[in-house]
Amino acid sequence: MKPRRRKNVASYVALIPAFIIVVFAYLGTMLWTVQISFTDSRLLPSMNFIGIRQYERLFATPRWIISLENMVIFGVGLIFVCLILGFLMAAALDQKIRFENTFRTIFLYPYAMSFIVTGLAWQWILNPTLGVQQYVRNLGWTDFRFDWIIQNDKAIYVVIIAGVWQASGLVMALMLAGLRGIDQELWKASRVDGIPAWRVYLNIVVPMLRPTIITSVVLLSLAVVRVYDLVIALTGGGPGIASEVPAKFILDYLFGRSNIGLATAASSVLLVIVLVIITPWLYYEYFRPERAKGAK
Partner 1 sequence: MLQATSTPATAAALSGPSGPRPRSVTAGRIGLYAFLVFAALFFLLPMYVMLVTSLKTMGEIRMGNIFSLPSEATIEPWIQAWNSACTGLNCGGIKVGFWNSVRILIPSVILSIFIGALTGYALSLWRVKGANLLFAILLLGAFLPYQVFIYPLVRIYSTIGIYGTMTGIVVTHTIFGLPLMTLLFRNYYSSLPIELFKAARVDGGGFFQIFFRLMLPMSTPIVIVACILQVTGIWNDFLFGVIFAGRENLPMTVQLNNIVNSTQGEKLYNVNMAATILTALVPLVVYFISGRWFVRGIAAGAVKG
Residues 56-115 that bind partner 1 (CB under 8 A): 85, 88-89, 92-93, 95, 97-98, 103, 105-115
Closest distance of CB 145 from partner 1, Å = 16
- Of the residues 39, 169, 190, 243, which one makes contact with partner 1 according to CB under 8 A: 169
- Stretch of 55-63, 126-134, 152-160, 200-208 contacting partner 1, by CB under 8 A: 126-134
- Of the residues 83, 125, 182, 241, which one makes contact with partner 1 according to CB under 8 A: 125
Nearest to partner 1 of 243, 264 (CB atom): 264
| Nearest-angstrom CA–CA distance, 128 and 181 | 45
Residues 6+ apart with CB under 8 A from 229: 114, 115, 116, 119
CB environment 226-258: b (16+ within 10 A), e (fewer): ebbbbbbbbbebeeebbbbbbbbbbbbbbeeee
Closest distance of CB 232 from partner 1, Å = 7
Closest distance of CB 106 from partner 1, Å = 5
In this structure, the number of other CB atoms found within 10 A of the CB of residue 279 comes to: 10
Task: Tell me, by CB under 8 A, how many residues bind partner 1.
Answer: 102
| Nearest-angstrom CA–CA distance, 224 and 218 | 10
Nearest to partner 1 of 48, 105 (CB atom): 105
Closest distance of CB 10 from partner 1, Å = 3
Closest distance of CB 218 from partner 1, Å = 8
Nearest to partner 1 of 19, 49 (CB atom): 19
Q: Do 32 and 47 meet the contact criterion of CB atoms below 8 Å apart?
A: no
Question: CA-CA distances (angstroms) from residue 128 to 125, 150, 189, 231, 239?
Answer: 8, 8, 53, 18, 13
CA proximity to 227, closest of 148, 166, 152: 166
| Binders of partner 1 in range 186-245 (CB under 8 A) | 212, 215, 219, 222, 225-226, 228-229, 232-233, 236
Helix, strand, coil in percent for the chain, rounding step 5: 70, 0, 30
| Nearest-angstrom CA–CA distance, 268 and 144 | 44
Q: Residue 279, interface with partner 1 (CB under 8 A)?
A: yes
Q: How far is CA 53 from the centre of its chain?
A: 30
In this structure, the number of other CB atoms found within 10 A of the CB of residue 206 comes to: 15
* Cis status of the peptide bond prior to 239, with omega within 30 of 0: yes
Tell me which amino acid residue 22 is: V
| Binders of partner 1 in range 243-262 (CB under 8 A) | 246-247, 250-251, 254-255, 260
| Nearest-angstrom CA–CA distance, 256 and 241 | 15
Closest distance of CB 278 from partner 1, Å = 5
Q: Residue 120, interface with partner 1 (CB under 8 A)?
A: yes
Nearest to partner 1 of 62, 256 (CB atom): 256
Nearest to partner 1 of 14, 65 (CB atom): 14
- Stretch of 47-55, 140-148, 182-190, 284-292 contacting partner 1, by CB under 8 A: 284-292
Q: Residue 150, interface with partner 1 (CB under 8 A)?
A: no
- Of the residues 49, 59, 135, 141, which one makes contact with partner 1 according to CB under 8 A: 135
Nearest to partner 1 of 73, 121 (CB atom): 121
